[in-house]
Amino acid sequence: MDDALSLLQQRHSAPSRQLGEPAPDATSLRSLLEAAIRVPDHGKLVPFRLIALRGESKLKFGTLLAERAIRRDPDLPESKREKERHRYTFAPLVIAVVARIDHDAGIPEIEQKLCAGNVAYNILLGAYALGFGAQWLTGWAAYDAEVAGLLGLAANECVVSFVHIGTPQAEIPDRDRPALDDLLTEWKG
């Protein structure tokens, strides 16, 4: 395996339910996030920002999300209510990656969202490189206006991902990956 590509060839998500303490310390987290924001950025708009959720604040956010999930669907089965109640109790750190869309910049919205998505992916790669586990989650909360209000998002902002970060508490097997030959074609005009 080419050492220069080994990180990409080995990276895999760690389910958030299998993440525990420790999270990156302040110095490692700062380095991780400084590296993560080095992304392609058409127009140099910096169309993203980050919100760290940890400690009691993270747990409070998780409680508010669970309450919102039940208000959204009063018939939510108890098993799903329980899942919502515990979603933010596992990983010690969650980074919300937020896209900030500048509608007047002349840069397509999709490019701005992809820029923010690259930040989220770089967080995953960086966490893995530092020996941590991470999982990119969205789900209903990323698209809910009330949750956006909880996070203090402006009208031109949206959640791209909630990246859960911590230390894997068990061995995480890799999943089957698609074969490149099934995905790659060559255009010949």
Domains and CATH numbers, the chain: 15-171 (3.40.109.10)
| pTM for the model | 0.94
- Residue 29 tokens read as 């987290």
HSE-CB for 11 with a 13 A CA cutoff: 17
The pLDDT score that the predictor gives to residue 112 is 98
The CA distances from residue 181 to 43, 177, 185, in Å, are: 34, 12, 8
**pLDDT tens over the chain, length 189 residues:** 568 899 899 999 999 999 999 999 999 999 999 999 999 999 999 999 999 999 999 999 999 999 999 999 999 999 999 999 999 999 999 999 999 999 999 999 999 999 999 999 999 999 999 999 999 999 999 999 999 999 999 999 999 999 999 999 999 888 999 999 999 999 999
Predicted confidence at residue 3, as pLDDT, reads 85
What are 51's two structure tokens?
Answer: 């919100």
Q: State the pLDDT at residue 132.
A: 97
Q: What is the DSSP string of 45-93?
A: ---EEEEEEEHHHHHHHHHHHHHHHHHH-TT--HHHHHHHHHTTSSSSE
pLDDT at 1: 52
